[in-house]
Structure 1
Amino acid sequence: MPGQTAISGVVPPGVAEATVMTVWPSVASTSIGQTLGRLYRLKGGFGPLSLGRMALLATIPVGLMLYLSMRLPWAIMRYRLTNRRVTIERGINPRVEQYVDLDRFDAIDVVVSPGQEWYAAGDLVFRRGPIETLRLPGVSRPESFRRTCLEVRQSYVSVAALQPVPVGAG
Structure 2
Amino acid sequence: MKQAIAGVTPAESEETTIMEVWPSVARYSVARVLGRLFAIDAGIYVFKIGNLIALAAIPVGLALYFFRLLPKIRNLPAVPHGSFYKLTNRRVLELHNEFHLGPGSQFLGTLAGCGGAAIGGVLLGIHYYLFDGRLIPGGDVNSSSPILKSPIFSWMLIVLAVFHVTAGLALLITVLRNHSLQFSYGTVCKPLDLNRFDEIEIEQHGGQEWYDAGDLVFKEAGHETFRLPGIARPEAFKSTCMKAHMAYVGVQNALQTSS
Same fold? TM cut 0.5: yes
Partner of 2:118: none
Cα deviations by residue, 1:17-72 (Å, 9 ceiling, x for unpaired): 11111111000011111111111001112343111000001110111111111122
Partner of 2:42: 44
Residue identity matched to 1:141: R
Change (3 A) 1:94 1:166: farther
Matches within 5 A, 1:5-84: 5-74=3-72, 75-84=81-90
Partner of 1:93: 185
Partner of 2:229: 137
Richer in helix (by share): 2
For structure 1, the residue ranges without an aligned partner over 5 or more in a row are: none
Q: Number of matched residues?
A: 165
1:148 is the counterpart of 2:154: no
1:104 is the counterpart of 2:196: yes
Partner of 2:128: none
Cα deviations by residue, 1:107-155 (Å, 9 ceiling, x for unpaired): 0000011110000000000000121000000000000100110011001
Richer in strand (by share): 1
For residue 93 of structure 2, give the secondary structure of its aligned residue in structure 1: strand
Change (3 A) 1:95 1:166: farther
1:123 is the counterpart of 2:129: no
Cα deviations by residue, 1:56-106 (Å, 9 ceiling, x for unpaired): 011101111111111223334211111111010111511111121111100
TM-score, normalised on structure 1?
Answer: 0.90
Q: Name the larger-Rg structure.
A: 2
For structure 2, the residue ranges without an aligned partner over 5 or more in a row are: 73-80, 98-183
**Structure 1: how far apart are the matches of 2:12 and 2:43?**
59
> Greater shift after overlay, 65-74 or 99-108?
65-74
**Structure 2: how far apart are the matches of 1:69 and 1:120?**
20
Residue identity matched to 2:61: G
1:114 is the counterpart of 2:120: no
**Structure 2: how far apart are the matches of 1:164 and 1:65?**
50
For residue 195 of structure 2, give the secondary structure of its aligned residue in structure 1: helix
**Structure 2: how far apart are the matches of 1:121 and 1:139?**
5
Partner of 2:143: none
Q: CA RMSD in A?
A: 1.7
**Structure 1: how far apart are the matches of 2:69 and 2:232?**
16
